[in-house]
A and B are shown apart, each in its own frame.
Chain A
């Protein structure tokens, strides 16, 4: 079965960011397909590679990047939510005259159309938020 996941909350802020990861991992372990994970609202903060949690804490950002690499996941960050919160890739940095980018490996910035498409293409859309 094809799942799409929506994450509305940031890491270390709300359990939704952890729950979404655990659900995604369990679905992959069961052999399901993850069509896309869409990061919306404060959820875009899951995509900054500048995150440096203490060594004895889970690294929520790296965890997503690693899962994406292992399973070729499509991790999409909402562009408007990302701009507001300073989540920037190379293209967005150039377009907005910023001198740095901070998007973590495996994530890409795109628009809300990607969420709509995920809702249409996937068999189930599972939302994690506050």
Chain B
């Protein structure tokens, strides 16, 4: 079963990203929303972990939430795709289940 995982916490605030990455199975996807977008940025302490994760998971970040926090799309790590809300809906439909790491 393929799952779309959503993480809405900054990895520098809570451990929900770590929990998600430790449980997510190959072929699943991770969408970073709200304060979760900070994990998608280049040059942070989480970048290598995200690059490792991209080997087994599809990685996405919600564009409107990047913009709301003043983060340009150029700052996003290669391998993390930016989607809008319509893209979020498409992902939710494409994967078998949606699991929110709230």
Identify the A interface with B (CB < 8 A).
1, 3, 8, 15-16, 19, 22-23, 25-27, 29-30, 32, 123-130
Contacts and interface: CB of A to CB of B under 8 A. Distances in A.
Contact of A126 (B34, B65, B98): B98
B102 interface: yes
Interface in B73-97: 84-86, 88-90, 92-93, 97
Given A16-B34, A19-B33, A124-B97, A129 B102 contact: yes
A21 B89 CA distance: 12
Interface of B: 8, 33-35, 64-65, 84-86, 88-90, 92-93, 97-98, 100, 102
A16 B8 contact: yes
Contact of B89 (A8, A15, A19, A30): A30
Of the listed residues A3, A22, A29, A129, the one surrounded by the most CB atoms of chain B closer than 10 A to its CB is A22
Nearest to B14: A130
B85 A23 contact: yes
B86 A26 contact: yes
Contacts of A16: 8, 34, 102
Given A124-B98, A127-B102, A26 B89 contact: yes
Contacts of B89: 3, 23, 26-27, 30, 32
Nearest to B102: A129
B100 A22 contact: no
